[in-house]
Amino acid sequence: MLQDRQIDRMILKMQRLRSMYEGNLVCEVIAPDVVMEKNGVTSPASEGMEWGEDFALATFSFTVSGIAEGEKYYLTADTGAGEHLVCVNGKKVGILDYIAPADAFEPPARTHRYIYLDGLKNGDAVSLEAYFSHTMPGLHP
């Protein structure tokens, strides 16, 4: 059973949560025009499109536009791929490998759902090299 002092401390901590995490809240979702390149063929990417097959690779890319200087921007991708190598202007900046728990073999191993794109500005080229196939970590070719 909790004592009154413990309850008071817990309430104070909960009241501080907003100020601690407020800078990381998503204020707006920006959906850029994305193109996909697979097997040398480039086409517009659209929600719900099917592109994957065993051991398939594709590159999804877009040019940044309409963002405000000094704001924080995070990237997430819902392409159906198990892993994404993220590059900004050709420089590797991280990975995305989140798979929804219902689809994952081992959900705790696939936790990189968002990546912070530090210093992102209008005109930057963002690309995601996407690897499709299985949802088990560590089995890429």
Give 103's pLDDT tier (boundaries 50, 70, 90): low
> For 56-79, what is the mean pLDDT?
89
Burial grade of 93 (CB within 10 A; 0-12, 13-18, 19 or more): middle
Please report where in the chains the tokens 């990417």 appear, as a residue.
Answer: 45
Digit-coded pLDDT (tens) for 34-65: 999 998 999 999 888 888 877 789 999 999 99
**Domain range annotation of the chain:** 26-131
pTM higher than 0.95, yes or no? no
Query: Comparing 109 with 8, which gets the higher pLDDT?
Result: 8
pLDDT at position 141 is 45
- 26-131, what's its fold? Jelly Rolls (2.60.120)
Give 89's pLDDT tier (boundaries 50, 70, 90): very high
Query: To the nearest whole percent, how much of the chain has pLDDT over 90?
Result: 28
* Distance linking the first and last C-alpha atoms of the chain: 53
- Rounded CA gap, 105 and 62, in Å? 30
Three-state DSSP class for residue 140: coil
